[in-house]
């Protein structure tokens, strides 16, 4: 896994953790997901790009919130969509 940072990731001082272990958008439409990601701007937890609905990616482009963190237990990394940057924390 390549590691690369960007100004958005560098600006994060404390990483937001998921409040719920579910994709808020998938729950509304009774869909399933693969992995969960937490938006570091607003704290919403949504599904990953391997999930059928890719809600985290859609949220990033619709809202302009660039950075998500993995919401999977034991995974400690941040990803910035516009910069395609991935950094461990």
* Residues 5-44 interacting with Zn ion (rule: CB under 5 A): 6, 8, 23, 25-26, 33, 39, 41-42
Q: How far is the CB of 47 from Zn ion (least distance, A)?
A: 3
HSE toward the beta carbon, residue 43, CA cutoff 13 A:
6
End-to-end CA distance of the chain: 14
* Residues 62-81 interacting with Zn ion (rule: CB under 5 A): 63, 65-66, 80
CA distance 87 to 66: 13
Q: Which is nearer to Zn ion, 39 or 71 (CB)?
A: 39
Q: Are 86 and 79 in contact (CB under 8 A)?
A: yes
Residues near Zn ion, by CB under 5 A: 6, 8, 23, 25-26, 33, 39, 41-42, 47, 53, 55, 63, 65-66, 80, 83
């Amino acid at each position: 896994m390549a590691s690369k940072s960007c100004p958005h990731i560098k600006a994060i001082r404390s990483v937001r953790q998921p409040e719920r272990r579910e994709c808020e958008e998938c729950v509304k439409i009774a869909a399933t997901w693969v992995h969960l990601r937490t938006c570091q701007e607003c704290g919403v937890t949504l599904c990953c790009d391997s999930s059928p609905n890719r809600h985290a990616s859609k949220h990033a482009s619709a809202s302009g919130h660039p950075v998500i963190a993995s919401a999977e237990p034991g995974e400690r990394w941040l990803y910035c969509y516009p910069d395609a940057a991935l950094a461990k924390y």
